[in-house]
Each structure stands twice: as C-alpha cells, then as structure tokens.
Amino acid sequence: MHQSSGRWRLGLGLSLVTVFLWGILPLALTVTLQALDVYTVVWFRFLTAFLLLVIYLFSQQKLPNLAELRATSWQLLVVATIFLAANYFLFMQGLALTTPANAQVIIQLSSVLLSFGGLIIFHERYTLSQWLGVAILTLGFALFFHAQLATIITAKGQYLLGSGLTVLGAIAWAIYALSQKQLLQSLSSAKIMLIIYGGCALLFTPFAKIKTIFTLDSFHFSTLLFCAFNTLIAYGAFAESLAHWQASRVSSVIALTPIITLTSVWLMSVSFPSIITPENISLTGIFGALLVVSGSISIALGRSN
C-alpha cells in the first residue's frame, strides 16, 4: 500500500489550495451552464487540463515513459478514470438541477467516504482527539446543513433528482480518490492526472457539442476557461497532497469546502444578484459552520499514533 512522504505541511498547504478552488468552482459552473450543456463543459475542462499538462510535462521532460507505464496497474487507472468522469458528470447534473450550496453540501459525503477509506484500506489510524474531531465535524455538518437537508427531503421533481445524482457523484469521487492514492506507488501525481484527463476527455468526446463553444460571449467563455484551469490546478494540488499526507487528513481539510462556497455565494449575490441568488443561513447554520472548522482542524493537525 502507498505510504505518505510525511511532509504534512506541504500536504496541508496543497489541501487548502484545493479547498479554495473547489469552493468557488460551483459558482463558475452555474454561470457556465447557463450557456452550455453538461457534456460539453465536462469535455472542455478535461481536454484543456490534459493539453496544458502535456505541455508542462513535455517542457520539464517528465512525460511518462514505457517502463513507468508497464509498472502501473492499468486496471486501477481505468477505475480512477471512469469514476472521476462519473463524478464530474453527476456533480454537474446535480448542480444544474439544484443550487451551488446544495450541491456542495451533498458532495461533502465524498470526503467522509475518503476518510474512512483511508482508515480501512490504507490502515491509517486516528487518535482519541481526532475521533473527537470526527464527532464535532459530524455534528457541525448536521447543524450547518439542516435547512438544506429539510428542503431535499420535502422537495419533489428536479431538486430531489439533482440531490440524488450528487450523492452518486460523491461515491464515485471517493472511489477515484482511493484509486489515485494507490497509483502513486508507480507514477507521480502529475503523470497519473495526465492519463486520467486524457481518458476522461475521450469518454466525453462523442457527447460534446463542440460548435456551441464558438457561440459563447466573452463572459461565459471566460468562466468556461476558469473552470478548465480550476480542474488542472485543484486536482493537481489534491493529487500531490495525497503523496505527502494521509488520505484521512486530506479529506478532513477538504470538508471545509462548503464554507468557501457559501461565503462566495453570499459575496456574489451581494455584488451580482442577477447572476447568483443569495443563500439564507440561520444562526444554527453559522454555529454548525464553526463546528465544521473546529472538527476539521482537530482531525488534520492531531498527532498520529
């Protein structure tokens, strides 16, 4: 099984970069989906990230060689590729049918699944203080997302369907992330992402409406480009963080993502109310957010056995 390098400060920093970029991504995707369909957006994000990564690795003379590819588990690469592609599609379908905050809330199930996957598969261990952090984190999520969960339960039609698709997207992402960590035994994170991005781009090529991209105005094309660069940087940082830190701790930091999303939604709704509608957060939700932060910090920075 893959063992982390132990450079936890670097792993923490990379995880925080991922949190920020994933936190603001739903807003950009919501705007982009006003002009493009889900398949085309996903295809463009994967293709752009693949091409930029090819250029970078070629300039650094770090493209994967035949020996590395032969030593890699292609079965695991296929699993990682299929489930990351599924995650992108399901999350964006859920986002199109619900709201940025709701989609980001439900997708956090992925970090919980990743955390427990790290404990079970990679034999990572929590101290007592870290388990206390898990309890605080769980209570924080329950309070913070109470209003959204109540809406999901009582909602009908598209909102409920979108929420269900997002749950499936979370499961798909956790499977991808655990596969990604194991693949680090034979390839660097950048080389793994290069192969996965290329494979995902091929999967979505038959469904993409490429011509519609050329009809976009400058505003929507800019948001589409941002989504593509976000894919490259955020997943690159996430993949590299798994090389230096335990999967369970990376997942605990990623649990902070909804707070970034809701803060971004509030700022955007104040500045551009015609683009993003505001999210109403009660005092209970604010208290829950504080518990989420406290629990995540406790898990991430607690010492291992």
Report the pLDDT value the prediction gives residue 45, as an integer from 0 to 100.
Answer: 94
Question: Above 60 in pLDDT, residue 1?
Answer: no
Residue position matching structure tokens 């690469």: 77
| Per-range mean pLDDT, top range of 71-75, 91-95, 242-246, 275-279 | 91-95
Q: What is the pLDDT of residues 103-116, one digit of tens each?
A: 887 887 787 777 77
For residues 83-100, average pLDDT: 91
Residue 84 pLDDT level (bands cut at 50, 70, 90):
very high
Higher pLDDT among residues 190 and 227, named by residue: 227
Report the pLDDT value the prediction gives residue 131, as an integer from 0 to 100.
Answer: 83
Report the pLDDT value the prediction gives residue 305, as an integer from 0 to 100.
Answer: 46
Please, which residues have CB within 8 angstroms of residue 274's CB and are 6 or more apart in sequence?
Answer: none
Question: Above 70 in pLDDT, residue 102?
Answer: yes
For residues 139-144, average pLDDT: 80
Q: How many CA atoms lie within 13 A of 129 on its CB side?
A: 10
Report the pLDDT value the prediction gives residue 109, as an integer from 0 to 100.
Answer: 78
Please count the other Cβ atoms lying within 10 Å of the Cβ belonging to residue 154: 9
Is the pTM value of this prediction over 0.85?
no
Lowest mean pLDDT among 13-27, 68-82, 135-149, 215-229: 135-149
Lowest mean pLDDT among 4-8, 10-14, 95-99, 196-200: 4-8
Average pLDDT taken over every residue of the chain: 84
CA distance 138 to 141: 5
pLDDT cut 70: percent of the chain above it: 90
Higher pLDDT among residues 278 and 305, named by residue: 278
Angle at which helices 74-97 and 189-204 cross, to 10°: 60
For residues 166-193, average pLDDT: 88
Lowest mean pLDDT among 180-194, 201-215, 272-286: 272-286
pLDDT cut 90: percent of the chain above it: 34
Question: Above 90 in pLDDT, residue 130?
Answer: no
265-273 own/partner pairs: CB under 8 Å, 24+ apart:
265/27, 265/100, 265/101, 268/27
Report the pLDDT value the prediction gives residue 279, as an integer from 0 to 100.
Answer: 65
Structure tokens at 18: 């991922």
| Per-range mean pLDDT, top range of 10-19, 112-121, 211-220 | 211-220
Pseudo-torsion of CA 135, 286, 102, 21, nearest 10°? -90
Residue 151 pLDDT level (bands cut at 50, 70, 90):
low
Question: Above 90 in pLDDT, residue 120?
Answer: no
Residue 301 pLDDT level (bands cut at 50, 70, 90):
low
Which one, of 107, 87, 89, 95, lies nearest residue 33 by Cα?
95
Residues counted in the chain: 305
CA distance 70 to 86: 26
Structure tokens at 83: 């489930």
CB 247 within 8 A of CB 123: no
